[in-house]
Structure formats: structure tokens, C-alpha cells
């Protein structure tokens, strides 16, 4: 079984704008870079992953990815997420991939156990394995076997759209629920949880982000990932 991971990366210096009230631009860049490195390190250490392909319009992100052993695609400034993922999928199909696993770069707490569990659920095709975001509406991880089985629908309510696309394709659909995969980092409330988890010391490529936000979740806006 060959699984290629695809990691879409937004420009690091324009990432996490919804954290602008609590982090400086340099801090947001640092956070985005750390999360990218952490995700790539996890994928590199997961035995189920044959290789990783990073797609981005950001030369800095692509340079980091190559330094960490990933292959890269330079996207144009006009490229949108779904067409970019489709292009990347066509490339890994040429490389002989049996399945693709899409993992955005802002899921810093994905771990090898998550990768193993998703790969196990998706061991027989045709199938789709979806890991939902915290709101239960978006798609935080998506395994598709074989690659190109469904049309990507990242955006509003993508969990439902990906599920319906898989059903139309006659594929089995599995949902993988994971606390570590649910947490993407977009709003200050997410950063509170990020600091708490990093403080546990399990993530060597991540550090706590100042300021040390300790706002009660009841005072914060409802979180919502933008992975779709």
C-alpha cells in the first residue's frame, strides 16, 4: 500500500491573520513555521507514508519542506486550494500512489498514531476516510483511495460535501475522530489550547507562543478552522 501525503501551505508571512490581535506578524510567522515543521516531521516518521508532497505559493515554505525531505510544487499567486490539490493528486498518481492523505500544515498535534489509524481504516478501497474539525463541519484530514476518486470540496461544510462525493463514487466512507486532529490554530481560543498542549512537553518542534493567553473559552468567539 502506497500512501502519499499532500500538505497545502499558505504563505507563512501571511498566515494566521485571525491571531493578529494577540500575536505580532513575526510571532504568527514563527507559529506557522513551527507547525509546518511539526507536521512534516510526523509524516516523515510515519511508516505508512511513502512520501510527502508540499504545495504552496510561498518559496520559504517550499524551501523548508525540501530541507525536511519532502517534494514540492510551486503554486501561482492565483491558485485556489481545490484546484491545487487536484493538480498535486494527478502528480502522485503518476508516481504510483495507491492513496493520498491530505494534511494541512496548521494541524500541529497530528501524530503517528493518527496516521496509522487513518491508514488502517483506509486499507481497502475504494474508500474515503475523513477527520472532522472541532465544529464537525470541516475536513481536517482526508484519505482518498484511489487518488482522484472524488472531487475536492474544501470550503464551507466540506465534511458533508466530501462524504456525499464519496457516496456518489460508490466508495466506503469512514470518519476518524481524533482530539489531536480536530485542533487547527486559527483564533485566540485555539491558541489557548495550543499553549496548554505544548506545555505538556510532547512536541519537540513546537514552543509556547507569547503572550500567554489565558482567556476563558466562554469569553472567546466560537472557533472554526478554515481548512474547510
Q: Are 75 and 55 in contact (CB under 8 A)?
A: yes
Q: Per the structure block, which three cell numbers stand in for 186?
A: 486559527
Cα–Cα distance measured from residue 12 to residue 5, given in angstroms and rounded to the nearest whole number: 20
pLDDT confidence bin for 34, thresholds 50/70/90: very high
| pTM, full prediction | 0.89
Q: Which domains does the chain have, with CATH numbers?
A: 3-200 (3.90.550.10)
Residues belonging to the chain: 228
pLDDT in tens, 62-111: 999 999 999 999 998 777 999 999 999 999 999 999 999 999 999 999 99
Query: Cell triple for residue 82?
Result: 481545490
Q: What is the pLDDT of residues 116-170, one digit of tens each?
A: 999 999 999 899 999 998 888 999 999 999 999 999 999 999 999 999 999 999 9
Amino acid at each position: 500500500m502506497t500512501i502519499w501525503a499532500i500538505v497545502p501551505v499558505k504563505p507563512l508571512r501571511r498566515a494566521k491573520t485571525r491571531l493578529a490581535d494577540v500575536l505580532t506578524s513575526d510571532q504568527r510567522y514563527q507559529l506557522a513555521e513551527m507547525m509546518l515543521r511539526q507536521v512534516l516531521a510526523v509524516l516523515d516518521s510515519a511508516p505508512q507514508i511513502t512520501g510527502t508532497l508540499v504545495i504552496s505559493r510561498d518559496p520559504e515554505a517550499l524551501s523548508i519542506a525540501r530541507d525536511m525531505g519532502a517534494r514540492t510544487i510551486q503554486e501561482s499567486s492565483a491558485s485556489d486550494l481545490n484546484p491545487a490539490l487536484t493538480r498535486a493528486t494527478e502528480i502522485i498518481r503518476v508516481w504510483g500512489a495507491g492513496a493520498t492523505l491530505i494534511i494541512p500544515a496548521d494541524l500541529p498535534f497530528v501524530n503517528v498514531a493518527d496516521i496509522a489509524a487513518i491508514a488502517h481504516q483506509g486499507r481497502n478501497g475504494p474508500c474515503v476516510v475523513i477527520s472532522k474539525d472541532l465544529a464537525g463541519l470541516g475536513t481536517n484530514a482526508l484519505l482518498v483511495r484511489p487518488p482522484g476518486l472524488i472531487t475536492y470540496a474544501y470550503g464551507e461544510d466540506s465534511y458533508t460535501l466530501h462524504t456525499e462525493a464519496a457516496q456518489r463514487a460508490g466508495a466506503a466512507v469512514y470518519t476518524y475522530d481524533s482530539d489531536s486532529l480536530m485542533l487547527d490554530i486559527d483564533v485566540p481560543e485555539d491558541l489557548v489550547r495550543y499553549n496548554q498542549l505544548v506545555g505538556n512537553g510532547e512536541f519537540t518542534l513546537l514552543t509556547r507562543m507569547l503572550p500567554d493567553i489565558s482567556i476563558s473559552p466562554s469569553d472567546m468567539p466560537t472557533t472554526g478552522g478554515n481548512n474547510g
